[in-house]
Structure 1
Amino acid sequence: MRILAVDDDDIALDLLGNALRGAGYTDLETATSGAEAMDIICKTDRPFDVFLLDIRMPGMDGIELCERIRNMDRYRRSPVVMITAMSERHFIDGAFAAGAIDYISKPFDPVELGVRIRIAARLVDQAREVAKGQSEVDFLKSRSGLGNSFAAGDAIEIHDIPRVISQTAMENYLLRLNLRMAYQTKSVAFSIAGFEALHARTKASDVYDLLTDVAASIIYGLKHTQHLVTYCGNGGFVAVVHGRNSVVDDDTILTIQAVLDELEPTLSNGRPCPLTLGMGKVYVPGLLAASERLNLLIKPQDKAHTTLTDLRRAA
């Protein structure tokens, strides 16, 4: 597994390199700036598998570098792990929104570093098995003539929609929230009505495009909040929202449904495919132990969902 580590601190980079080599990861290249990293990435004839990026660097910081890497077709699915000092934890949201799947803290704990890299290695293996070097979108579209290439319950990754992250990245994010951030966090689920039947009769690439339309609509509806969104399978999305005063209410689903209607979801054969969304009750957990934080992802999906039709009936 080939790793590129980027940090403007030479001492930190040496410590990181020694820790990685000690854990058995010897195929390592380093850079001391975002610009140098991009030069290495663009010129190499041996693609990297995993990126470790310092979140704060002069010039191009780790978040911008992560975005640039994610915009390269070759690295759309490659794990990006951010490196951050404890005092920089407030930048983590931006890093996950840019496409990071995890982070490690300075000073480096060799055990924690080994765990994070092993998680990244598993994702590398999964990406190779699923896409065989292709992006997930290209993979699905290349298989579109062969029927559905993913199950209705698969939590596939939605690409190219800002602040929509993979389920693995969301789990890592939630598990590592500090106590203050966890206390200020709430979550809510959104679902596509009749998704199982829709999935059964629709090509995989069309289903993916419909999910992308829904994701974009959710992001727009939450634009006044600090949030991250993930797709959980079965037509369901979960949004994690920060701020005790952030408002997610009936107006939210009205806005999201209106935006989705304006997008006019359409299948590849030109046939319109209108979608109805439901929204669950907002889950506000309060204080959570680290072991309970995945409830922010699980509990909202268990709550009854309200649709636009329900709101009209109640009016």
Structure 2
Amino acid sequence: MGTSSMYNGPSGNPLLPDDFEDTSFPDSPESDNPQESNEETQNGNDESDNGDDGQENQQNSNNIDSSWSTAKKNMSRYASGTSNNYKRAVATYVKAHGGAKRAAKSASSGIKSTASFGQFLINSSNQGIRETLSQYKIDYEGRAAKDILNDVINRLAPVPVTKEDSVARKAIIRTMEVLYERIDDENKDISTLDKIDKELLNDMIPIQIESYIYERIINDLGSRIETKSSSPADAISKEKELKEYINSKVETTLKGNDFSQIDFNGNVSKEVESLYNQCYKVMEDML
């Protein structure tokens, strides 16, 4: 599951477009300030030596510091093994955004890509995949389903310009991988895509949201996992644990929603933002 650039995870992504690059952008909240890194390392060593996890728990309960430095520190401690509390690392990350509401509101590219993905699924379900692809001006005759979905990715999340765009594109790629696995069978042409229906829509929207939330936290704090983990294998394991946690929270939070009732062809940004808010809120409250 490794997605960070320093540690290379599994390769051979079946839906990864040829032009896709895992790009880091300078506007990430990650800091390159050597003084901050030294102070964090020193603090981490002190906490490790003292083993006083309970004291920090009490301090966090009484006075939660929602700054990015706290989020980075907690992620570093989780990655290094000083603490195994990944829930705290995620919760302070949400608080660093200003809380769940602001975290959701600032997820502009995620909201847009979720709405676009929902539109693709609901249109494919209602009017058929061929009509939907024709509207998207995507050629489908004689083409493999994998290649068609690559074009859909480029339609829903074009080659990124900003950090937010990059995160949204990675999330769409990961979601399309899951979609491809769900509908794949011996027929690998367009007939495979006729399986897209409302039931699949209800399964896939939460997956798209959790993919974005995960990719965003890795983009923002992934270097902490890279630099503080004991090995590349440990870093990948930590990322997997985070992904599984985020997946479980999003799945539980959005369980029972009928997303086919949302008019994805209309202006649904507020409705989709509300879904993100609900998920971020559950994670924030785990502190």
Asked if TM exceeds 0.5, the reply is no
Structure with the largest fraction of helix = 2
Structure with the largest fraction of strand = 1
Bigger relative CO (Cα 8 Å, ≥ 6 apart): 2
TM-score scaled by length of structure 2: 0.26
TM-score scaled by length of structure 1: 0.25
